[in-house]
Structures are given as structure tokens and as C-alpha cells.
Amino acid sequence: MAPPKKNKKGEGFHSAAGLIRYFDAEEETALKIDPRFVVAACLVTVVVVELLRWIVPLK
């Protein structure tokens, strides 16, 4: 049986899986969007698409 590997600081499951961490820390200049806005935008999009399907049915 192989000896247990010691985890290096900052490495986690993602590093072990071969995935790259692009963002280790949040940037101060990054665009911040309220999660409620994202949910509302999704709901509005669903309503618009369903209305269009009802108004302009495909043959």
C-alpha cells in the first residue's frame, strides 16, 4: 500500500482532477451582479419565449 500523500497548500480536489483554478481571489474591478437579477432575467426570458411560441406557432 502506498503511503498517504500530503496535500500542498492551495491544492485541492480540483487540482488533483486536472482542472485549473483561474480565479484564486476576487478582483475588486470585477462586475458584480445581484443573484436576484439573474433569476429575474431568466424568468423574463422564459416568459418571453413562451409568449412567442404561443403567438407565432411553428408549422
Is residue 24 assigned to a domain? no
Is residue 27 assigned to a domain? no
Q: Answer whether residue 49 shows pLDDT above 60.
A: yes
Is residue 9 assigned to a domain? no
pLDDT band at 28 (very low <50, low <70, confident <90, very high): confident
Number of domains, the chain? 1
Interacting residues of 20 by C-beta distance below 8 A, sequence separation 6+ = none
Is residue 23 assigned to a domain? no
Is residue 10 assigned to a domain? no
pLDDT average, residue stretch 9-34:
64
Question: With contact defined as beta carbons under 8 Å apart, do 56 and 49 qualify?
Answer: no
Range of the domain at 44: 32-59
Is residue 13 assigned to a domain? no
